[in-house]
Amino acid sequence: MSRLIQEHHQSLSSYWVINRIGDEARMPRFFNETLPFSKVVPYRLTKRDVHFNDDVPLHYAPSLEIVLYENLSGNVVVDNQQMYIQNNSVVLNPPMTVHGGWVTSDSDGSCIYCLQVSLEHMAHYIQLENFLAEKSLSLNNAPIIIPEYEQIHALMNDLFRCDDNVFLRNISILSIFEIIARHIPSSDVYVDIKHKSMETLKTLISWTHHNFAKRVTLNDAAAMVGYSKHYFCKWFKKQTNMSFVQYLKRVRVYNAGTLLLAGKSVSEAGYASGFENMSYFIKCFKEIRGCPPKQFVEAIRMYSN
């Protein structure tokens, strides 16, 4: 039967706690969005301790994502909306919405729970979208922040605790979905928020995630979406509230952090992530993560022992 699995890798066992219903554990990569779902694994719940800055660059995926921030403050982005969160918050990311976040630990015991649900594969047990359709509700109209932090926190812990019981697991999933449904305004008209500009942004994000390790220029990025360099810079800033150079830097630092945790040296992680100068890499890493690369790994190991 399935069970809660803790990843043991490079003495970093407590950094990731992974619950994936009957699947083997392995270090998540590429923003936790690429590990496969199936009828046996229709959802994935991860819990990650945070001891310094945590930064997840903009990305998107076909799964529904519910992120619970415990003792953390910072900014989250869902599509083109940016919100400041403080202390304890629950953020909802509907399928295929562009999202990301950068937060800072408020105290000891800071962590992030991330529940990803494949609605397609969850239908093997429950057609979750049918519950919304009965009341003319759509996830596309859902708010970013879900206020019932304590209830969702308890239900996520229930998912860890009841991982071997398919009945109790699905009761917890339904309960979380019912809480979300309370906050979705009823509408007889389906509101499609995935307008052309957002689809273009998704195309650019996907391209960036596949090419960040190479030499990438503003001209390259602008040409990819068919814009002039000047218009591209204005457009990207309007969509994301940051420059493309800032975004590319965050993608590279995120990947470098993953490589460092997998045992790569500072120079190996930096060069493999697209940084051509190690001094600049260390500067960027410290700016985004709040500490230099070596201290980042040492801190994880210290908290893992």
List, for residues 138-152, the tens digit of each pLDDT value: 888 889 999 999 999
Indicate whether 9 pLDDT > 60. Answer: no
Residues 200, 176 within the same domain: no
Indicate whether 286 pLDDT > 70. Answer: yes
Q: Give the predicted TM-score (pTM) of the model.
A: 0.76
Residues 126, 238 within the same domain: no
**293 vs 241, which has greater pLDDT?**
293
What residue spans of the chain are helical by DSSP H? 119-122, 128-133, 149-161, 166-182, 196-211, 218-225, 229-240, 244-261, 266-272, 278-289, 293-304
Q: What pLDDT was estimated at residue 230?
A: 93
- Write down which residue in 182, 208, 233 finishes a domain: 182
Q: What pLDDT was estimated at residue 35?
A: 61
The answer to the question of residue 189 being in a domain is no
On whether the CB atoms of residues 7 and 304 are closer than 8 A, the answer is: no
Q: What pLDDT was estimated at residue 256?
A: 95
Residues 209, 165 within the same domain: no
Q: What pLDDT was estimated at residue 141?
A: 86
Amino acid at residue number 255: N
DSSP string, 66-125: EEEEESEEEEEEETTEEEEE-SSEEEEE-TT--EEEEEEE-STT-EEEEEEE-HHHHTTT
Instruction: Grade residue 181 by pLDDT with cuts at 50, 70 and 90.
Output: very high
Indicate whether 185 pLDDT > 90. Answer: no
Rounded CA-CA distance 181/21 in Å is 25
Residues 31, 120 within the same domain: yes
Residues above pLDDT 70, as percent of the chain = 84
Sheet with 43-49: strands ordered across: 5-6, 16-19, 43-49, 111-117, 64-70, 89-93
Q: What pLDDT was estimated at residue 93?
A: 94
What average pLDDT is seen over the chain? 83
The answer to the question of residue 136 being in a domain is yes
Residues 226, 164 within the same domain: no
The answer to the question of residue 188 being in a domain is no
Residues 224, 132 within the same domain: no
Residues 106, 133 within the same domain: yes
Residues 38, 104 within the same domain: yes
On whether the CB atoms of residues 138 and 191 are closer than 8 A, the answer is: yes
Q: What pLDDT was estimated at residue 81?
A: 84
Residues 245, 129 within the same domain: no
Of 92, 95, 71, the closest CA to residue 83 belongs to 92
**208 vs 108, which has greater pLDDT?**
208
The answer to the question of residue 191 being in a domain is no
- Write down which residue in 182, 205, 221 finishes a domain: 182
Indicate whether 15 pLDDT > 60. Answer: no
**79 vs 260, which has greater pLDDT?**
260
Q: What pLDDT was estimated at residue 71?
A: 94
Find the domain containing 259 and state its range. Answer: 196-304
Residues 229, 277 within the same domain: yes
Instruction: Grade residue 304 by pLDDT with cuts at 50, 70 and 90.
Output: low
Number of domains in the chain: 2
Instruction: Grade residue 74 by pLDDT with cuts at 50, 70 and 90.
Output: very high
The CATH code of the domain that includes 19 is 2.60.120.10
On whether the CB atoms of residues 243 and 48 are closer than 8 A, the answer is: no
Query: Number of helices and strands (H, E) in the chain?
Result: 11, 10
The CATH code of the domain that includes 277 is 1.10.10.60
User: What average pLDDT score do residues 77-101 get?
Assistant: 90
Locus of tokens 């046996």:
40
Given 3-state DSSP classes, what are the helix, strand and coil percentages for the chain, each rounded to the nearest 5?
Answer: 45, 20, 40
Q: What is the pLDDT of residues 94-105, one digit of tens each?
A: 999 999 999 998
**DSSP 8-class letter at 1:** -
Contacts of 123 (CB under 8 A, 6+ apart): none
Amino acid at residue number 277: N
